[in-house]
């Protein structure tokens, strides 16, 4: 299980890459861009084809970012998560959050083998304060059943 210190370490990074936002605006990565952007985080969406998502400028790769980042949020399909983790590692990223449902055994193993502080099988929306709406209820349930990282 992921430790609370790993969760807190990721959230202490006030800027990070977001891999998995879509041009259609319908993916979880888009919600993270909107919600965490409103909570004071600076996020740089990485998209191989998009110049912008809504009003937010996108970058083709980590090399194109205006500044280096130490953290990356990944919300792609499990088939793509290992490649996303490898790209982040190659760019020097030390903290990765693989959104629940996006992880693959290969991605998690890569993080472990390369000393990357990884949060997996957790929803970032339950931890980025202030927690609102349904995410607050989900967090309550996880606490009730002892499923929150310690």
User: What is the extent of the structural domain holding 77?
Assistant: 4-144
Residues 140 and 70: their CA atoms lie apart, in Å, by 30
pLDDT at 28: 81
Whether 149 is covered by a domain: the verdict is no
Whether 113 is covered by a domain: the verdict is yes
Cβ–Cβ under 8 Å, residues 20 and 75: yes
Please give the radius of gyration of the chain, using alpha carbons only, rounded to the nearest integer. Answer: 14
pLDDT at 136: 78
> Helix (H) and strand (E) counts for the chain?
5, 7
Whether 103 is covered by a domain: the verdict is yes
Cβ–Cβ under 8 Å, residues 98 and 120: yes
Cβ–Cβ under 8 Å, residues 130 and 40: no
Whether 137 is covered by a domain: the verdict is yes
- The domain total for the chain is 1
pLDDT at 147: 82
Phi/psi of residue 37, nearest 5 degrees: -60, -35
Confidence (pTM): 0.92
Whether 76 is covered by a domain: the verdict is yes
Whether 150 is covered by a domain: the verdict is no
Q: CATH number of the domain that 39 lies in?
A: 3.40.50.720
**pLDDT tens digit string along 97-150?**
999 999 999 999 999 999 999 999 999 999 998 888 888 778 788 888 888 888
**pLDDT tens digit string along 35-53?**
888 899 999 999 999 999 8
Whether 43 is covered by a domain: the verdict is yes
């Amino acid at each position: 299980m992921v430790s609370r210190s790993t969760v807190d370490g990721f959230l202490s990074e006030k800027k990070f890459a977001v891999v998995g936002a879509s041009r259609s605006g319908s993916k979880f990565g888009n919600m993270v861009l909107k919600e965490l952007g409103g909570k004071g985080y600076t996020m740089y969406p990485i998209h191989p084809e998009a110049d912008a998502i809504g009003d937010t400028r996108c970058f083709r790769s980590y090399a194109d970012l205006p500044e280096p980042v130490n953290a990356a949020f990944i919300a792609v399909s499990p088939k793509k998560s290992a490649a996303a983790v490898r790209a982040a590692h190659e760019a020097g990223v030390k903290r990765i959050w693989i959104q629940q449902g996006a992880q693959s055994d290969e991605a998690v193993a890569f993080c472990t083998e390369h000393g990357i502080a990884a949060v997996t099988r957790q929803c970032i929306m339950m931890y980025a304060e202030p927690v609102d709406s349904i995410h607050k209820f989900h967090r309550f349930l996880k606490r009730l059943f002892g499923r929150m990282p310690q």
